[in-house]
């Protein structure tokens, strides 16, 4: 009897081949030649992704961890549909932002006396922070600690004034430079001792401490006590607050607000409040709904608890927890992350493009599905690393 042939795996690239003008097209063309492995996704539902060749994947990337309720959650979809029908309101003040600020304060433990600015995305929030630091705080020279571009953390200048990159052999310059402010953006296993020294110097000279919590990973580190930096003057939050709906915000503590340079013509916050006017009403209402759902599920503690249960199902020779989130161990990547990722795509599992990213689960990932996927993932990593015997030795 002839064995049934396995269906050939396709990456859904047909639709990309028909395009010629976008950078995405260029990237996907490279993915056919190099081991990038980025199948273009047609739609998502719950914990699943679907590409243009009808391949279905269990999503463990979840838009960098922001999709706490999976793809297209009915409650958020109905909220968006209801409020977008009442008008976009882009460019106008939205009173519901006060309600959203209260929800985030309750969730993250921010003081009620602080001030908030909202943005259409976390990237716009980060970009606006650069402008605000120079325009309203007169701080031009800053550094990011825990640069997320490389496992192990690192140092990266916030502005273009000083170009000292991680691994350049000039680490002493980072420690001795006279920084105006420091942005705390922890990568995986950050170099905490060196980072703490920089933060201490900035504090001593009266500089500003900014906590960049643009995704769940950084938030988890703050909540689990891994961070050594203490209370920040300014905090940045990202789209996970609205479960994937583009939204970002900046929180200014009362002391930070008092250190802003006053404009003689306008009150400081009246002058910069227009930043928040660009956020449409449906986004604000969807973010409020998302935080209400998150509170009902048990808050961020419930997210981290689900992460822990998932971690326990995985083979601890290849996977580890870091500050509550699940990562592939570096020693499990001898044959390359790209090979593992492509193999998992063929097995119906979608993981982050980089090994620096955590494997995320949402409330829609059932325990049964997680158990099944954990076995597949452990087997795949073992097949593409050194093998069981070598790992045990």
Q: What is the pLDDT of residue 137?
A: 86
pLDDT in tens, 219-244: 555 554 445 445 788 888 876 777 88
Q: Taking the CB of residue 308, how many other CB atoms lie within 10 A of it?
A: 13
The C-alpha atoms of residue 379 and residue 373 are separated, in whole angstroms, by: 10
With beta carbons less than 8 A apart as the criterion, state whether 282 and 84 touch: yes
User: For residue 59, what pLDDT is reported?
Assistant: 96
Determine the Cα–Cα distance for residues 269 and 272; give it in Å rounded to an integer. 5
As a whole number of Å, the end-to-end CA separation of the chain is 42
Is the predicted pLDDT of residue 321 greater than 70, yes or no?
Answer: yes
| Euclidean distance between CA atoms 255 and 364, whole angstroms | 40
Average pLDDT over residues 94-104: 86
User: Residue 390: pLDDT band by 50, 70, 90 thresholds?
Assistant: very low
Beta bridge partners of 181: 142, 208
Instruction: Tell me the two tokens of residue 305.
Output: 């608890």
Binned at pLDDT 50, 70 and 90, residue 313 comes out as very high
Instruction: State the pLDDT at residue 391.
Output: 43
% of the chain beyond a pLDDT of 90: 19
SS3 state at 43: strand
Q: Tell me the range of 133-142, 220-229, 271-280, 352-361 where mean pLDDT is highest.
A: 352-361
What's the fold here for domain 88-296?
Answer: 3.40.640
Element (H, E) at 142: strand 142-145
- Note the pLDDT tens digit of each residue in 323-374: 778 998 888 877 678 888 888 988 999 999 888 888 999 999 999 999 999 9
Residue 94's pLDDT is 73
- pLDDT at residue 269 above 60? yes
**Residue 16 banded pLDDT, cuts 50, 70, 90:** low
3-state secondary structure of 326: strand
Pairwise pLDDT comparison (384 vs 295), residue with the higher score? 295
SS3 325: strand
The candidate with the shortest Cα–Cα distance to 251, out of 342, 118, 383, 158, is 118
Predicted pLDDT at 266: 55
- Burial letters 74-99, b for 16+ CB under 10 A, else e: eebeebbeebbeeeebeeeebebbee
CA–CA gap between residue 279 and residue 236 (Å, rounded): 16
For residues 69 and 363, what is the distance between their CA atoms, to the nearest angstrom?
5
**Which uninterrupted H or E stretch holds 45?**
strand 41-45
**What pLDDT sits at residue 163?**
35
CB of 219 within 8 A of CB of 226? no
Chain-wide mean pLDDT for the chain?
A: 76
For the chain, which residues make up each domain, given as ranges?
14-21+40-72+299-392, 88-296
pLDDT at 361: 94
> Which of residues 369 and 197 earns the better pLDDT score?
369
Q: What are the structure tokens assigned to 74, written together?
A: 């009915």
Quick: pLDDT tens for 158-181: 443 333 334 444 444 566 677 888
Q: Please say whether the beta carbons of 94 and 281 come within 8 A.
A: yes
**What pTM does this model have?**
0.80
The confidence score (pLDDT) of residue 179 equals 82
User: Taking 80 as the threshold, does the pLDDT of residue 215 lie above it?
Assistant: no
Q: Which of 388, 391, 296, 384 is nearest to 344 (CA)?
A: 384
Q: For 14-21+40-72+299-392, CATH number? A: 3.90.1150.10
Q: What is the pLDDT of residue 370?
A: 95
Asked if the model's pLDDT at residue 104 lies above 60, the reply is: yes
**Distance, CA of 352 to CA of 244 (rounded, Å):** 16
Euclidean distance between CA atoms 217 and 198, whole angstroms: 22
Residue 241, pLDDT score: 73
Provide mean pLDDT across the span 70-82.
Answer: 92
Name residue, tokens 């069981």: 388
CB atoms within 10 A of CB 201: 16
Half-sphere exposure of residue 267: CA atoms within 13 angstroms, side-chain side: 6
Contact 72, 48 (CB under 8 A): no
pLDDT at position 308 is 92
96: which residues sit within 8 A by CB, 6+ positions away?
281, 284, 285, 288
Task: Calculate mean pLDDT across residues 265-272.
Answer: 62
- Please state, in angstroms and rounded to a whole number, the distance separating the CA atoms of residues 120 and 248: 6
């Amino acid at each position: 009897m002839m064995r049934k042939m396995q269906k050939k795996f396709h990456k859904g690239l047909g639709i990309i081949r028909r395009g010629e003008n976008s950078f995405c097209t260029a990237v996907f063309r490279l993915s056919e030649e190099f081991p990038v492995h980025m199948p273009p996704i047609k739609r998502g539902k719950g914990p699943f992704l679907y590409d243009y060749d009808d391949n279905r994947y269990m999503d463990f990337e979840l838009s960098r961890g922001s999709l706490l309720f999976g793809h297209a959650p009915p409650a958020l979809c109905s909220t968006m549909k209801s409020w977008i029908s009442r008008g976009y309101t882009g460019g106008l003040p939205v009173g519901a932002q006060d309600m959203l600020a209260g929800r985030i304060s309750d969730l993250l433990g921010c003081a009620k006396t602080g001030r908030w600015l909202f943005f259409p995305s976390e990237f716009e929030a980060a970009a606006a922070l650069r402008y605000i630091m120079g325009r309203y705080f007169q701080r031009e020279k800053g550094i990011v600690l825990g640069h997320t571009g490389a496992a192990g953390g690192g140092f990266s200048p916030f502005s273009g004034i000083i170009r000292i990159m991680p691994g350049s052999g000039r680490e002493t310059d980072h420690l001795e430079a006279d920084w105006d402010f420091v942005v705390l953006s922890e990568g995986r296993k950050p170099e905490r001792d060196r980072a703490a020294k920089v933060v201490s110097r900035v504090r001593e000279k009266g500089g500003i401490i900014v906590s960049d919590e643009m995704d769940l990973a950084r938030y988890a580190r703050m909540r689990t006590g891994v961070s050594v930096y203490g209370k920040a003057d300014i905090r940045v939050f990202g789209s996970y607050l609205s479960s994937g709906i583009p939204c970002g915000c900046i929180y200014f503590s009362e002391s930070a607000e008092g250190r802003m340079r006053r404009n003689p013509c306008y009150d400081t916050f009246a002058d910069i409040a227009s930043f928040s006017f660009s956020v449409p009403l449906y986004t604000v209402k969807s973010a409020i709904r998302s935080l209400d759902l998150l509170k009902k599920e048990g808050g961020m503690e419930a997210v981290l608890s689900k992460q822990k249960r998932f971690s326990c199902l995985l083979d601890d020779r290849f996977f580890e927890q870091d500050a509550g989130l699940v990562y592939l161990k570096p020693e499990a990547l001898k044959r390359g992350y790209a090979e593992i990722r492509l193999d998992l795509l063929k097995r119906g599992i979608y993981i982050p493009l980089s090994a620096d990213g955590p494997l995320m689960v949402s409330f829609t990932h059932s325990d049964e599905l997680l158990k099944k996927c954990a076995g597949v993932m452990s087997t795949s990593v073992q097949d593409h690393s050194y093998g069981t015997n070598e790992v045990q030795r």
